[in-house]
Amino acid sequence: MGWRLLPHHLTKEQIWQRVRAESELDAVSEPALASNLYSTILAHPNMEATMAFLLANKLANPTLLSMQLMRLIADAYADDPDLIDACLADLQAVYDRDPACDKYSQAMLYFKGFQAVQCQRVAHWLWRKGRQVGGRGGVVVGRALALAIQSRMSEAFHVDIHPAAQLGRGVMIDHATGVVIGETAVVGDNVSMLHHVTLGGSGTGRGIRHPTIGHGVLLGAGATILGPITVGAGSKIGAGSVVVSDIPCHSVAVGVPAKIIKRDLIKEAIQDMDQGMDFVIEYEI
């Protein structure tokens, strides 16, 4: 099912006030963190300013300056309010689905999967805003910077998501190390994936080369999905599996190559985040 507000979800202002309150308590209980918490969260008036500061300082290097990046990210949030709405949906998803996450501020400050997704959203905004200057064969303004952000994301987070890839809302990438999502991949709402997941391409053509992942899919650690195939909504792909053909909705697939071992799942895969429970019973190699 696509992203929707649930009764327990907080509003944008409620999340911002919660993040501030959590940060104030942490600054008192952990004085070594006080300066970082003040400069990253408490010195800013809203979520947009905090995220711009946080992401800019994660991406910055000696030649890609934090102040320039902060202005760019702030401009992106001002131009497209959907970016911060998606950020809040992702933050809520991490808080809901990751049992290691006790606080909203924890995910914002310390979970690189969340941070990497927000960087990609800004890079995707740049990619969409890109315009060609100088006629045929000219320079596409904006896309070069989008690719620079992708490169810095890969260096900073060990997560490589092409700026053209389309990500839905409520996306959670847990641990995140080694995740690769290619140029023409589409990831639906409420998708959860773990480290070393690959949504890879097949072929050298200019068309769609990467997978489409439906709403509410769970991709286990090390899962590899290759080519222009579809993983249907509500399905679960086992850790270490290699998927090279379509998977129907509400199914469980596991193995190399992946085989369907269960169909017509009733419970959404992302509700329990269980990578292993469905994968052993009645499975034969």
Share of the chain above pLDDT 70, in %: 89
Is 135 a residue whose pLDDT tops 70? no
144 and 27 in a common domain: yes
Mean pLDDT of 139-143: 70
- CATH number for 219: 2.160.10.10
One domain for residues 10 and 145: yes
Same domain, residue pair 65 and 1: yes
Burial of 284 (0-12, 13-18, 19+ CB in 10 A): exposed
The string of pLDDT tens digits covering residues 215-263 is 999 999 999 999 999 999 999 999 999 999 999 999 999 999 999 999 9
**Same domain? 49 vs 140:** yes
Q: State the total domains in the chain.
A: 2
Distance, CA of 269 to CA of 282 (rounded, Å):
19
Instruction: Tell me the average pLDDT of the chain.
Output: 92
Distance CA 111, CA 231 (A): 26
Both 39 and 151 in a single domain?
Answer: yes
The pTM score is: 0.91
Range of the domain at 146: 1-158
What is the C-alpha to C-alpha distance for residues 189 and 145, in angstroms, rounded to an integer?
26
For residue 137, the model assigns a pLDDT of: 61
pLDDT at 274: 64
Residue 85: the pLDDT is: 97
21 and 143, same domain (yes or no): yes
* Domain match, 183 and 227 both: yes
